[in-house]
Structures are given as C-alpha cells and as structure tokens.
Amino acid sequence: MTRFAAPIAEQIWDMKYRLKEADGTPVDQSVDDTWRRIARSLAAVEAEPELWEGRFYSALEDFKYLPAGRIIAGAGTARSVTLFNCFVMGTIPDSMGGIFDMLKEAALTMQQGGGIGYDFSTIRPRGAEVHGVAADASGPLSFMDVWDAMCRTIMSAGSRRGAMMATMRCDHPDVEQFIEAKQDAARLRMFNLSVLITDPFMEAVKADGSWDLQFKGRIYRTVQARDLWNKIMQATYDFAEPGVIFIDRINRMNNLGYAETIAATNPCGEQPLPPYGACLLGSINMARLVRNPFEAGADLDPEALDDLVRLSIRMMDNVVDASRFPLPQQAEEARAKRRIGLGVTGLADALLMTGLRYGSEEAAAQTEAWMKRIARAAYLASVDLAREKGAFPLFDAEKYLASGNMMQMDEDVREAVRTHGIRNALLTSIAPTGTISLYAGNVSSGIEPVFAYAYKRKVLQKDGSRTEEEVVDYAVKLWRDKFGDAPLPDYFVNAQTLPPLDHVRMQAAAQKWIDSSISKTINCPEDIDVEAFKDVYMAAWDQGCKGCTTYRPNAVTGSVLSVSESTESAPEVDQGAEVVYLTEPLDRPQSLEGATYKLKWPDSEHAIYITINDIVQGTRRRPFEVFINSKNMEHFAWTVALTRMISAVFRRGGDVSFVVEELKAVFDPRGGAWMQGRYVPSILAAIGGVIERHMIATGFLAGEGMGLKSDPQAERMVAGGEAPRGKACPSCGSYALRMVEGCMTCADCGFSKCS
C-alpha cells in the first residue's frame, strides 16, 4: 500500500523532499518517515515534545497540512539551511559601499536557499550627480544587472537556483526603463519585476492627470499618469512583466503599520515584507477536508478545518524558533514579529467537490466564507499561544487593534487579542503551491482553478528512456472513482477557458481575509485586446486586490502546456533550419571556417584572442571548436581547460547555447567591468559574450539572449508523433511548461523558475 494518490506524487517526494545521504542512499524509507522527521523537529522546542510530535504528525498525515517545501526538505536534517522560503533584504543605501554590502548579504541569503526581494527605488536615477567623484550615477538598473549576475552563480540549497523580486516605485525617474528592462531577453533573467503603484497614482490615472517623477524631493520630469500606466500595461501584455503591486493598500492593511513600512515582496508576491523580513509558509489542503464529495450535502468539515488550522499555526510558530537564518538581522526581525503565512491549496478541487463552478458569484462567496473561517481559527489559535508562550515582542494592543486587517475582525477575536495579546503579528498568506500540490496527489494549486483535468507526462526512467503516464486532477480522480466514465458536470471549468474577470473575482474574495497577500496568475487568452487586458488590472484595483499578475501566451512569452483532448496533426517543421544535431561526435575535418576575435579586458596588460571554428554541412553551420590564447601566463591554465571543455561540448552537437549562458553568468567577486555601455560581471562572461555574438553572426542563435534559430530537438519530436509546444523546460527539456501562480512550472519534472 502507498500513501501517494498518484505516481507523480511519489516521484516529487523522492526527488525534492526525501532525506538522503550524500551518496543518495535514502534515510526516509517512506513518506511516513518524512512526516515523522518534520513533526519531531518542530516539536523539539515544546515543553512536552512527545505529546506535540504525535499531534503534529496527525496534521501532516495524508497530506492534510502541507508545510512549504523548504520545511519538508530541511526540518530535522541537521543541514545548515533556512526553513524560511523567502526574504526581503535591507534597504539599499544610495552609496557604492552600501550597495555592495547589500549584494554580499543577498549572496549569503541565497547560498542558504532563500529567495529575496529588493526595492531599488532608493538608488538615485541614471544621470544624477555623484558628489565627490565628478561623475554621473549609472542608475538602479545597472546595479540590478550586478545582482542578476550574482544570482546566476549561486546554487541554492538542494538543487534550487535563487529567485529574486525587484520593485520600483511608480514615481522614480527611472521607472520607464524599469518597465522595459526585460524586453531584452538576455537581461535580468533571475528577477521578477513589479512596479509599486500608489493610491495617488491610480487617482491620477483615472483623472488623466499629470504625474511627477522624482527622487528625494527633486522633480526630474513630469508625465501623464495614464501614459505611464499604459506603458506598464503594454509591457505586461507583450512580455508578462512587470507585475503590479498596490503598495499603499498593502501598508494600509498591514497589522504592523505602526511598526514598519513595506516597499518590497518576496519573489512570487504573496508576502509583502519590511527590510530583513522573512516569509514562513504552509497550506491547508482543502481538498482533503470535504465531506461527501459530489453528493447533495457535500461541504467542508468545519470542525476538522478548525482543528487543523490550530495545529498548523502552532507548528509554524515553532519554525521561527527551530530555523536557522542566513543573517542575524533576519533572525531578529522574525523573532520580534513572529510573522507567518498560513494559506490553502486545493481550493478549486474543494469547490468542484461541493458542486460550485470556480469563478462564479456563488463560488466567490463560499471562498470568502471559508477564508474567514480560516482567519478566525488562525487568530484565535495565535491568541492561545500568546496566553501560553507570550505575545510577539513588538505587540502594542492599542496600536495593533487600530491597524490593518484587525480593524475588520469580529469583535470576539478583537476582545481576545485585547485581553491576552497575540503570538504572531500576521498569520495568513496564499503562496505558490505548484510542487507541493503535485506531492499531495495533484490537488489544484493554491487558489488557482484546475489547470488541466488530465494531461500526459513523460517520466525519465533509469535506463534513459521515457515512458508516458496520465496525470489526473485529484477531484477528477474522485469523480471517476465514484461515477466511472460518466461525463464531468458543466461546472468543471479550467484555467484555459475561465474569463479573466472571474479570476479577479476569486482573488478579491480570498484577499478580504488574507492579512498578507496572494500569489495568483490571471490567465488571459492570447487574442484578448489591450483595452480588455487593462480592464483586468483596473478590476483588481477596484475590487481590493493588493496586486495583479497576468499571463497571456504569445510569441514572446511562449505557449503553455497543451491540454486539448483532440488529436491534431503536428505542424510542419521549418525546413530552413541552420542547425545540425549530431548524435555522435565528429572527427575534425582538415579545414574549418572560423573567425578570431580580440578581447581587451580593462586593466589587463595583454589581450585575449578567441578563435571559433564552425563545421559546415551543406548550407548548415554550427560551432565545432574554440581556441583561447593570451600572452598573460596567469591565464594559461584556465584558458587551456576552457578550450578543451567547450570544444568537447561543441563536438557532441545539439543545443550548445547553454555554454554561452553559463559563461555569461559567471560573477567575479573582485568586480567586473563596463564594456560597450553595459556591465560585464567577469572576464569569463566577456568570453561568453564573444561566443554568443559569433553564434548570432553565423545564424546558429536567433539573437542575443535567445535560443536556437530552430530547435534541433524539434525534428526528432515531430518524427515521434508529438509536436513541440512552447518553450522547453531548462531542467528536463520537455515541452511541458505552464504558468502557475506567477511561475513557469514544468509538468514533467516539477521544475519551477520561482521555487
């Protein structure tokens, strides 16, 4: 017997969460061992650890409460990792020394596995005077390039790369450049971008008024607010970024408005945080709490929900004491406020199981009622913890009750807080749950609608072959178990067919009782016009959302996983492709065509010469070998090694563009250099740039930061009867990427850009 509802769930557990020795030998023999390890670790801070270990295990058992992946993977392992998912870093000073101090803190945080958020609005705009050095400022975007290069070189704990959020205020003089930054596909690839939108700006947009772009009281220029808003909308329509964060609303609704000011969020946007703030996340699996699913009396078990919420709050509060922190400032901030973020997953499945159509007014009303019940249970559980263990250190009853979300709480909850205090300043947040939802049996993710009721997933076997399996949504599987092949009722809708404004209605309904924020993607059809697209954001503002993230598949962003049940003929492959896929390495011909490039690194006495030779077959040309030479003997060993390694990779064929990306990502802690108007983080990154330009010139790459002119895998896939769909997963190579909660997520291997 297995605890897992689907093979994919067990594979996710084994790949991401199962404790193993360094050599790969499993320590957790079953998922029960994983639950026991977590329960024991989080109960260790209790006065009666054995009692609470058993209760915590009961909450984890059968995937009812799902801690964030970092807790599942890290709790009880004795590894030097943080159990907190993400951090907002300290305020960036407007000075060179302060900026690079912040860069160091970011690197240390990501080294332990934390994603980070930063507000770059505090850096003076491009062209502003820098006193004392007779120079003009390079602006915040130039320093974001440095952060981006650093992030690409840091491997987070486990196998996760760092994820970052960059925000900029809508009145910063460089905001227009910020809006357009990721239209260059090679730039800021490790960042999510969001514009901090203020209440006065939205008022100016609606009134078609003017808007000052300013920094520290100096107005640099004045624009029309609506023109700036339209620039944000057009960029998001075309490139899926930047996102929009309604920052004044976030600060106004913050329970700690009397003690902090928020200017940034974690990478997925659901946790607005002050400087050095950390997000601690977990989710109630609502799909596991529905009684009598698909029957006339189906409902969510209220007593089971209350009990589960109370246990979850206690476990999460204990994480604050059990976790390590990359920086002492982060530990101090977390323990002063004990901020946690309990959310939900499986909401759409729970609605289906109770006969409600996601996005309808009835479903929105039920969602709001469920969220209120969770909020009440969470706040009352935190009050009980305060009676037992004490309120959070910065608690001030008068100020706390007069701020943020507490203003709308029921009077009995307010009275309990007034009398006994509260253990955790903020308690609720809806996080991305893509991977843990798969781990829990493919329940619907977070508060998102079901993406696909069933889809095919390729599974890599130990012998290198791939098999195909069907992945079925949790609620659909229950329906099939009950009713066999009976057709699904018409209230079964999915993310592909749902009108965008129905998404907004659901986000707004949940937001009312969430004291932090929500990670949600509003899927828009490719053919939506710009005006209707802008209406989505205005609806999010009008209905009280704290932010808005959309995804519209197009030629730039890529399509998402196809879920059509019909079988269509594969599109014709572009026969004009200029790329050759080599299944075996070729012997070197007597002569090759190539070019030699001179690279002069600033402050280096000798230039580096890079020769790139190509193999030509018919009219097709691809890189075959590289030679790197310099008179500087300090470069000799690593240039020879680089020559041999890159040439060996080139001779294997296929998509070798990753060589360029890996070289361009190398960050030299001693500092990079400005070359041809842009910051290059290292000499190796400069070499990568030379190789990239050669590949573009010969037609191997489509452009800077872009992939192959055509995909060499495409012919093989179409020959096998399956057409490639959108962008390939950078982890497993399959065409199964889909946008979930603001993150491109692979349905085959579970890879997520933000996870």
Under the banding of pLDDT at 50, 70 and 90, the label for residue 52 is very high
Is residue 184 pLDDT above 60, yes or no? yes
Average pLDDT over residues 51-76: 96
Residue ranges per structural domain of the chain:
7-82+280-420, 94-124+143-177+187-264, 558-562+733-755, 593-718
Under the banding of pLDDT at 50, 70 and 90, the label for residue 343 is very high
Assign 3-state DSSP to the chain and report helix, strand, coil percentages, each to 5. 40, 20, 40
Write out pLDDT tens, residues 74-133.
999 988 778 988 899 999 999 999 999 999 999 888 877 778 999 999 999 999 988 777
Average pLDDT over residues 289-295: 96
184 or 94, which is more confident: 94
Average pLDDT over residues 510-531: 94
- Of 182-191, 472-481, 620-629, which one has max mean pLDDT? 472-481
Helix ranges (H only) for 154-214 are: 175-180, 199-207
Write out pLDDT tens, residues 153-174.
764 333 445 689 999 999 999 9
Sign of CA dihedral 107, 109, 112, 114: negative
594 or 456, which is more confident: 594
CA dist 645 → 634, 648, 700 (Å)? 19, 5, 20
Under the banding of pLDDT at 50, 70 and 90, the label for residue 559 is low
Average pLDDT over residues 295-309: 96
Under the banding of pLDDT at 50, 70 and 90, the label for residue 484 is very high
Write out pLDDT tens, residues 236-263.
999 989 999 999 999 999 999 999 999 9
Write out pLDDT tens, residues 668-681.
767 778 777 677 88
Q: How many CB atoms lie within 10 A of CB 573?
A: 16
Under the banding of pLDDT at 50, 70 and 90, the label for residue 38 is very high
Average pLDDT over residues 592-599: 88
% of the chain beyond a pLDDT of 90: 59
Is residue 399 pLDDT above 80, yes or no? yes
pLDDT (0 to 100) of residue 641: 84
CA dist 256 → 246, 274, 279, 288, 440 (Å)? 17, 10, 15, 33, 34
pLDDT (0 to 100) of residue 298: 96
Of 510, 470, 471, 475, the residue nearest 489 (C-alpha): 475
Burial of residue 506 (CB within 10 Å: 0-12, 13-18, 19+) is buried
% of the chain beyond a pLDDT of 70: 85
Of 502-516, 541-555, 570-584, 610-624, the least confident: 570-584
Write out pLDDT tens, residues 718-732.
333 344 445 656 555
Of 104, 123, 230, 108, the residue nearest 179 (C-alpha): 230
pLDDT (0 to 100) of residue 720: 38
156 or 432, which is more confident: 432
CB under 8 A, 24+ apart: contacts of 465-473: 469/7, 469/8, 471/6, 471/8, 471/442, 471/747, 472/6, 472/442, 473/349, 473/442, 473/443, 473/444
Identity of the amino acid at 249: R
CA 740 to the chain's CA centroid? 9
Looking only at Cα atoms, what is the longest distance across the chain? 87
d(CA 17, CA 469): 22
Average pLDDT over residues 139-159: 76
551 Cβ contact list (under 8 Å, min separation 6): 240, 521, 522, 523, 524, 557, 560, 739
Q: Which residues are catalytic?
A: 266, 268, 270
Burial of residue 673 (CB within 10 Å: 0-12, 13-18, 19+) is middle
Under the banding of pLDDT at 50, 70 and 90, the label for residue 342 is very high
293 or 749, which is more confident: 293
Residue 233 host element (H or E): helix 225-239
Is residue 600 pLDDT above 80, yes or no? yes
Average pLDDT over residues 281-296: 96
Is residue 464 pLDDT above 60, yes or no? no
pLDDT (0 to 100) of residue 15: 86
Average pLDDT, the chain: 86
Is residue 563 pLDDT above 70, yes or no? no
d(CA 544, CA 548): 11
Is residue 591 pLDDT above 70, yes or no? yes
Strand pairing of 164-169 and 115-119?
A: parallel
Is residue 575 pLDDT above 80, yes or no? no
Contact 446, 754 (CB under 8 A): no
pLDDT (0 to 100) of residue 572: 32
Any idea which residue has 């910020």 for tokens?
Answer: 178
pLDDT (0 to 100) of residue 719: 33
Sign of CA dihedral 560, 565, 566, 570: positive
